[in-house]
């Protein structure tokens, strides 16, 4: 189980809409950093900063394959946050399909 500081880091990472969109993209499959950056109107350096925050929160991992850095979703941090929320009795355990639907709703409303 995560410590309160770990949960703070996860929730802080999830607070940003760009990072939530990145997580939604990674639900589909691992992606190269350049592919993650492609749909955003910001520099590769700015996306890299978002990726560092997600990695520090344990939400993604990154590995170098040849000259390309790849990103992969790591759902354990989300699972720990979900378990913490269950303590309030009003939240159900997170499942990745529901999380993806949430992100799609969230992103759909923000792009209009």
pLDDT in tens, 32-83: 999 999 999 999 999 999 999 999 999 999 999 999 999 999 988 788 888 8
Token pair of 103 as six digits: 């992100």
pTM here? 0.74
Q: Considering the domain boundaries, does residue 28 fall inside one? A: yes
Give residue 110's pLDDT. 53
Domain count, the chain: 1
Q: Which residues of 45-71 are buried (b: 16+ CB within 10 A; e: fewer)?
A: eebeebbebbeebbbbeeeeeeeeebb
- The per-residue pLDDT for 90 is 59
Q: Is residue 111 part of a domain?
A: no
* Domain carrying residue 91: 4-106
Tell me whether residue 34 is in a domain: yes
What is the reported pLDDT for 23? 95
18 part of a folded domain: yes
Q: What is the dihedral of CA 27, 25, 2, 14, to 10 degrees?
A: -140
CATH label of the domain that carries residue 12: 1.10.10.10
Residue 35 tokens read as 């592919």
Q: Is 89 exposed, middle or buried (0-12, 13-18, 19+ CB in 10 A)?
A: exposed
What is the chain's mean pLDDT, rounded? 86
Q: What pLDDT does residue 74 have?
A: 92
Residue of 104 and 30 predicted with greater confidence: 30
Q: Is residue 112 part of a domain?
A: no
In this prediction, residue 93 has a pLDDT band, given cuts at 50, 70 and 90, of: low
């Amino acid at each position: 189980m995560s410590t309160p500081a770990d949960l703070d880091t996860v929730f802080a990472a999830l607070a940003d809409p760009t990072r939530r969109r990145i997580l939604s993209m990674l639900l589909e499959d691992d992606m190269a950093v350049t592919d993650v950056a492609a749909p955003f109107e910001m520099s590769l350096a700015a996306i890299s900063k978002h990726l560092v925050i997600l990695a520090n929160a344990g939400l993604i991992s990154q590995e170098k394959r040849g000259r390309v850095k790849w990103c992969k979703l790591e759902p354990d941090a989300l699972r720990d946050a979900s378990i913490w929320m269950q303590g309030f009795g009003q939240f159900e355990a997170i499942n990745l399909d529901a999380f993806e639907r949430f992100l799609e709703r969230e992103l759909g409303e923000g792009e209009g």
